[in-house]
Amino acid sequence: METQMLEELEVTIRKGLHIIKFNRPSKKNSFTAQMYDGLARLLNEAAVDDRIVITALTGAGDFYSSGNDLTNATKFIADGDIIESTKESCNRIRNFVSALIDYPKILVAVVNGPAYGIAVTTLGLCDVVYASDKAYFQTPFTKLGLVAEGCSSYTFPRIMGISKASEMIFFGHQMGANDAKECGLVSQVFPHTTFEQQVWSKLEQFVQMPKQSMMCSKHLIRAQISEELHKANEAECKELGERMHSEECITAVFQILNRRSKM
């Protein structure tokens, strides 16, 4: 077993199973700029690593991930050049999502707790999603003055239908684990008390299955939609860049951060 600690990410490889753990439990595993860059690099490296059969994404502590670290937004404004800063941020998101779209190995999300924002939208790019019964899912884009990302404008309507996808993306509906399973976002839900044991045991068995067969089947599935996913990613990041330096977004983010500081 090989374990490596990167900044805010923990990486383990054991017998074909590649585990990337979001490791900011005190910040609910929110994504920093360094994490976006690190995740894209790790996925691109794993794509050509013959030791790896399955990559699993999970979180440390009680949260899977609370999505983007909102303090990044205040740094953009403090830097002075908001347009350039948001451009860099969107490029990071674009590169991370592109790495997920193009990832040739089996990609599994092990959702150990609540998930927000891009931690939810990118579940639609995973091959399999396992969730604890304590997990829930929310995409508060409108509340932040932002728009859908992670290809969710494409994947969510196809996974759960237009009405449910719209409720999540437009209104920030909070979806429980069992509802997420019912609508197809989640593959299986496990009791939280046995979640880790059951999921990792299952994945350790799956890595023993014929590797090339799995890769070929994934290619057949993804080849049908890869181009559309990349188009969605480009369109979302372009619109996201516009929204991130809008007055509506800046006001919403500062209001949320101000409320948090008073709690």
pLDDT mean by block of 10 residues, the chain; 263 residues: 80 96 97 95 97 97 93 57 78 97 98 98 98 97 92 98 97 98 98 98 97 96 96 96 82 68 53
Q: pLDDT at position 196, please? A: 96
Domains, in order of start, for the chain: 2-261 (3.90.226.10)
Q: 236: closest CA among 151, 145, 143? A: 151
pLDDT of residue 245: 79
CB 223 within 8 A of CB 215: no
Could you give the CA distance from residue 89 to residue 236 in angstroms, rounded to a whole number? 13
Give pLDDT, residue 257: 62
**Residues 174-187: pLDDT tens digits?**
999 999 999 999 99
pLDDT recorded at residue 259: 64
Q: pTM of the predicted model, to two decimals? A: 0.93
Q: Report helix, strand and coil shares of the chain as percent, to nearest 5.
A: 55, 20, 25
Ramachandran category for residue 12: left, alpha or beta (phi over 0 → left; psi -120 to 50 → alpha): beta
Q: What is the pLDDT of residue 262?
A: 55
Length in residues, the chain: 263
The pLDDT value recorded for residue 19 is 98
Give the pairing of strands 175-176 and 136-138: antiparallel
Burial per residue of 75-106, b for 16 or more beta-carbon CB atoms within 10 angstroms, e otherwise: ebeeeeebeebbbebbebbbbbbbbbbebebb
pLDDT of 255: 73
From CA 114, how far away is CA 28, in angstroms rounded? 9
Q: State residue 79's pLDDT score.
A: 53
Which of 142, 164, 169, 179 shows the shortest CA–CA distance to 232?
Answer: 169
